[in-house]
Amino acid sequence: LGLLTEFNFNPLPNSFTFSTLMDRTFTETKYRFTGAAPEYTTFYNKWWTWDRNYNLNWDLAKGLKFNFNAVNLAVIDEPEGAIDTDIKRQEIWENIKGFGRNKNYAHNFTLNYTLPFKMIPFLDWINSRATYNANYTWSAAALNTQSLGNVIQNGQDRTINVDMDFVKFYNKSDYLKKINGKSRSRTISPRNGSRTPGDKKQQGQDKEEEDKKDKDKEPGIAAKVILRPLMIIRKIRVNFSENFATVVPGYLPRTEYLGLTDRFQTPGWQFVSGLQPNIRSTDYYTSNDWLYSNWQWITPDVLLNQQVTQSYSQDIDARATLEPFNDFKIEVEARRSYSNFHSEDFRRNDLISTGSDRFQEEYEHLNARDVGSYTITYFAMNTLFDDNIRAMFQTFESNRSVIADRLAIEEGIVTPHSDSAQAAQGFPLGYGRVQQSVLIPAFLAAYTGQDANQVAVNADDTKELFKTIPRPNWRLTYNGLSKLKFLKDIFQSFNITHGYKSTLTVNTFQTELLFSSNDPTRENPETGDFYSRFEIPDIVITEALSPLIGVDVKTQNGMSLRAEAKRSRNLQMSFVDNGLNETKTSEFVLGFGYRIKGFKLPFMKSVPGDDDKPLTPGSGGRSSRGGGLSSSNRNNGDLDISFDFSLRDDVTWRHLLDADVLEPTRGTRAITISPAAEYQLNKQLSLRFFFDYRRTIPKVSQSFPITNTQAGITVRFTLN
């Protein structure tokens, strides 16, 4: 019944509002020029606008909400000069009756839908929401450039959010709920009054029966050990979003109702609803080509120079919380981000047009270009700890011939490379040593530890690259050691952490203007290689074990200890100069802290005679005379001691293909030691003694070792 109520359709909108604003400015200015005719001495400034706003809110169902709002900006055109005749007044009224001349129309609507999982008993642990947002805009051309046409544009945003609480799902079983819950100790409160021997006997029998029932209900240790790890998944969250936008200049039709004209046919319900027209280059001059099919809408003026644009972006973010057992948490994350911006000229070709009449064949797609970016979470830890970087780069170089042969077989090419030197090395026609479709899979295979014979390849290298599935990154946290019986009296907290994060990024890719889909085997005359569909300047892989292992301990007596080992790598492969910049960093951090309460500095003397004054029991350090603090406690404060140490080593190596060059371009080895002590004299005054030592040893000969040392005392006085 609840599910049917959730889908209950509401036939009437919740609210509809309409507002209109008409604003007229009329200025008449006369200049007293001697002998000049009135038409040369009187000037008029007119501006008459009419704005209309519409808003509709409609809860179509309990979880389905619709919102629509539109804005129409129009102007009332007035005749020239003074409005002093009935004909001019009639012309103005005719313009008002026609709702003026539209200058701009824009609308957007949002559709929100919350899926009714909460109404389904066995699915109420899932929360999901979908949103569709669309917009449309029509902008009129200026009166002096009406031949260039108007501009229409639309946009569309789609999002889906899903949250799954698996703990709530497991707890639907009372038995599993007890395994998920923390064990509770049962206490029996004594009853008032004395008990007879019969009462005590009955109490003992009741207690035995109650213990037996609890024993039957409570899961045993074996059940907890077996079933708890099976409930490792605790939460999953997935966010998915897509954004589209299209701009079409040179659009001739005007706007009437809801941005449409020609009996609601132009530019179509799909366009004003945010759906994207097909202007992909693969469908040029076919029935699926939206621009070419609707060429009558586009201005015949060959001076149109504004481009048609279409953008698209997609973001996927998935997160999961895993917990094999209590206090051991694993956060897993996977992300993907992709964007593409397409631009082109679609206009009448003045070299083809022969007269005032226009034809479909005169319209052409020109200067098509795509630009975009791409980022995903990645995994390359297989080679992170391999310090033989020269051998790894040589593997990359040798992978190229394997990849080239696979591409040649896939494309049916048996001809050797046009360059004799590369042909002698076994490279096939079009797929040489620096061809992009060869380099990308060869690079990824080498630095992820994959076999070059197994890695995915494609003549359109970006097609396989953009199909890469995001790899999980993770962070582990365990804080259960301090809760163990034999350790909880020693440690206040004992946290162990580990994390891995990696991304693969294509900062930008753009259309190779010399590539032709009609002739994909067109060769670059300089290299003898086939042109790639997209130019990718570089690919960047970053990864970090941050930390590889981290320990953060606090003891019951005020001591703290922190230790972390980190390791990271950055690979930037350039396909412009065919060089690889490889940066490797390792770091060890150690921190120690200890607080000594009631510490007495040796040079802080007590007031004579006060130390011998007896303290009354339970006085808490107060003298029996006067009730004030004793001098010994007045001069005792807390002493905070800290010691920080770090050792960091990072170096950047420069590799060049086929050059056997391996040299560090930058890098340092840095040691930092920072002990400090802070003493709190009282609430207002504190002293801090510090010493900072840092030594940097460069990895390149152009730099020099640097040592920085600082030491001193800081006095801090705080005003109340």
Collapsing DSSP states into helix, strand and coil, what is residue 305?
coil
Question: Distance between CA atoms of 116 and 63, rounded to whole angstroms?
Answer: 7
Reference 246, options 264, 271, 222; nearest CA is 271
* pLDDT on residue 119: 85
Residues in the chain: 720
Q: Once rounded to an integer, what is the mean pLDDT over residues 430-444?
A: 95
Higher pLDDT, 676 or 43: 676
Q: Which range (169-183, 450-464, 471-485) has the least confidence?
A: 169-183
Is the peptide bond preceding residue 547 cis, with omega within 30 degrees of 0?
yes
Higher pLDDT, 620 or 64: 64
Which range is most confident: 24-33, 212-221, 266-275?
266-275
* pLDDT on residue 610: 45
Collapsing DSSP states into helix, strand and coil, what is residue 472?
coil
* pLDDT on residue 530: 95
Which amino acid, 635? Answer: N
**Contacts with 467 (C-beta within 8 Å, 6 or more apart), sequence order:** 456
Half-sphere exposure of 169 (CA within 13 A, CB side): 17
pTM score > 0.75 for this model? yes
Domain boundaries of the chain, sorted by first residue: 1-108, 115-183+218-377
Q: Once rounded to an integer, what is the mean pLDDT over residues 514-520?
A: 85
Q: Positive or negative CA dihedral for 275, 280, 283, 285?
A: positive
Reference 593, options 670, 674, 533; nearest CA is 674
Reference 718, options 684, 692, 693; nearest CA is 684
pLDDT at 398 over 50: yes
What residues does 346 pair with on adjacent strands? 365
Question: Distance between CA atoms of 47 and 26, rounded to whole angstroms?
Answer: 7
pLDDT at 411 over 50: yes
How many CB atoms are closer than 10 A to CB 204?
Answer: 10
* pLDDT on residue 31: 82
Geometric angle at alpha carbon 251, from 248 and 253, rounded to 5°: 140
pLDDT at 35 over 50: yes
Question: Distance between CA atoms of 564 and 550, rounded to whole angstroms?
Answer: 4
pLDDT at 606 over 70: no
What residues does 158 pair with on adjacent strands? 132, 242
Question: Distance between CA atoms of 150 and 500, rounded to whole angstroms?
Answer: 52
Q: What is the pLDDT of residues 140-169, one digit of tens each?
A: 999 888 999 999 999 999 999 999 999 999
Q: What is the pLDDT of residues 607-658, one digit of tens each?
A: 444 444 444 444 444 443 344 444 444 556 788 999 999 999 999 999 999 9
Q: What is the pLDDT of residues 680-713, one digit of tens each?
A: 888 888 899 999 999 999 999 888 999 999 999 9
pLDDT at 375 over 50: yes
Question: Distance between CA atoms of 212 and 174, rounded to whole angstroms?
Answer: 18
Exposure pattern of 639-678 as b/e (b: 16+ CB <10 Å)? Answer: bbbbbbbbebbbbbbebebeeeeeeeebbbbbebbbbbbb
What is the residue-wise DSSP string for 198-235?
HHHHHHHHHHHHHHHHHHHHSPPHHHHHHHHHHT-EEE
Collapsing DSSP states into helix, strand and coil, what is residue 357?
coil
pLDDT at 187 over 60: no
3-state secondary structure 91-129: HHHHHHHCCCEEEEEEEEEEEEEECCHHHCHHHCCEEEE
Q: Which range (63-67, 82-86, 336-340, 373-377) has the least confidence?
A: 82-86
Collapsing DSSP states into helix, strand and coil, what is residue 419?
coil
Collapsing DSSP states into helix, strand and coil, what is residue 242?
strand
Q: Once rounded to an integer, what is the mean pLDDT over residues 494-515?
A: 95
**Contacts with 38 (C-beta within 8 Å, 6 or more apart), sequence order:** none
Contact 239, 314 (CB under 8 A): no
Contact 282, 463 (CB under 8 A): no
Rounded to the nearest angstrom, the gap between the alpha carbon of residue 326 and the centroid of all alpha carbons in its chain is: 30
Task: Give the mean pLDDT of the chain.
Answer: 88
Q: What is the pLDDT of residues 68-96, one digit of tens each?
A: 999 999 999 999 888 888 999 999 999 99
* pLDDT on residue 189: 46
User: Where does the pLDDT of residue 353 fall: very low under 50, low under 70, confident under 90, or very high at 90 and above?
Assistant: low
Is the peptide bond preceding residue 267 cis, with omega within 30 degrees of 0?
yes
> CA-CA distances (angstroms) from residue 471 to 502, 541, 584?
9, 13, 21
What residues does 71 pair with on adjacent strands? 53, 106
Question: Distance between CA atoms of 294 and 373, rounded to whole angstroms?
Answer: 31
* pLDDT on residue 198: 55
Question: Distance between CA atoms of 500 and 542, rounded to whole angstroms?
Answer: 11
* Percent residues over pLDDT 90 in the chain: 65
Computed over its alpha carbons, how large is the radius of gyration of the chain? 39
Reference 183, options 228, 226, 233; nearest CA is 228
